[in-house]
Amino acid sequence: MVRDNNIRIRIFKNRLLYVLVCVLSGLTAIPLLAILGEVLIKGWKQLGWSFITEATLNAYKAMQAVSAGQDIPGGIANGIVGTFLMLMLAAVVAIPVGVFCGICLSEYRKNWFATIVSYLTDLLQGTPSIIIGIITYIWVVVPMKGYSAIAGSVALFIMMLPLIIRSTEETMKVLPETLKEAGLALGGSYWRVMLQVMLPSALGSLFTGILLAISRVVGETAPLMFTALGGAAISWNMTKPMSAVPLLIWEFFNDPNLQSLIWGASLFLLTFVLCLNLLAKRIAKKWKI
C-alpha cells in the first residue's frame, strides 16, 4: 500500500513538473510571437521589389507624399547594400583571426597566455555594443577624420571576433584526439595536421558558429551610429559614410513622415536573421561532429 502511494506521488510530481515546464515555455514564447506577429502584419505589405531596390527618400519628398495621401515611395536599398558590404569586410577579417585564435586556445589551454586571452575574449563578448562603438570612433573615425563604412566594419569585426573564437575553441575541444594522432603518425607536421585534418573535420560546426556570429551583429545599431553614421544614397565607397538597415530603422523612427517604413525594414531584418539561423541549424544537423 505504501509502495503504491509512493508511485502515485511520483507520477503526480512528474505530471506537475511537465505541465509547469509547458506553461513556462508558453509564457516565454508569447512575447516573441507577439513581436513577430506585429511586425509581420504591418510590414508584409511593404515588402516588394521597389522596397529592396530603391534608396530611401529624403524627408521633404516623404512629407509631400504623406500630404498628398499617397504611399511613401522609395525603399531600403541603401541600407541593404551598406549592411552587406560592412558585414562582408568584417567577416573577411574576423573569420581567419577568430578561427586561428580559437585553435590556439584549444591547443594551449593550460598556457598562461591562452588563459589571459580566453578571459579577455569573455570580457569582450560581454562588452555593451555602444562601448565598442565609442572605442571604434576613437580608434578609427578620429584618425580617418570622418565617418566611414570601414569604421563600421571594424566595430562589427570586434563584436564578431569573440563569438567566432569561442565557437572554434569549443568545436576543436570535442574533436577526437585520434584524428590528430593519426595525422602526426603519418608524418604530417603539427600545423599541417591542424589545417588539413582537424579543421576540415570541424568545418560544419565552424561554419555554423560563423553564421550565428553574423546573425548576432547584423542588427546592431549603436556601433554604426558612432562609425558608419548613415546615408540616404546607395554608396559603394567604403571610405565614406554608409547606411545600414538597423540605422534606417532608427532614422525612420525619428522622422514622423517615414515612420510607416519601420515595419517593412524590421520584417526584412528579421527575415534575414531567421534565414541565417535556419541555415546554421541545417548545417549543424548535416555536419554534426
Q: Which long-range contacts (CB under 8 A, 24 or more apart) does 52-60 make?
A: 52/76, 52/77, 52/80, 52/268, 53/77, 55/232, 55/233, 55/234, 56/232, 56/243, 56/248, 56/251, 56/258, 56/261, 57/232, 57/258, 58/232, 59/255, 59/257, 59/258
* Structure-block grid coordinates of residue 268: 526584412
> What are 158-203's pLDDT values in tens digits?
999 999 999 999 888 888 888 888 888 888 888 888 888 888 888 8
> What are 15-69's pLDDT values in tens digits?
999 999 999 888 988 888 888 888 999 888 888 888 888 888 777 677 777 677 7
> What are 69-87's pLDDT values in tens digits?
777 777 899 999 999 999 9
* Structure-block grid coordinates of residue 220: 546592431
SS3 of 222-275: HHHHHHCCCCCCCCCCCCCCCCCHHHHHHHHHHCCCCHHHHHHHHHHHHHHHHH
Q: Which of 160-174, 215-229, 254-268 has the lowest mean pLDDT?
A: 254-268
Please state, in angstroms and rounded to a whole number, the distance separating the CA atoms of residues 283 and 259: 37
The pTM of the full predicted model, rounded to 2 decimals, is 0.87
Residue with cell 544537423: 285
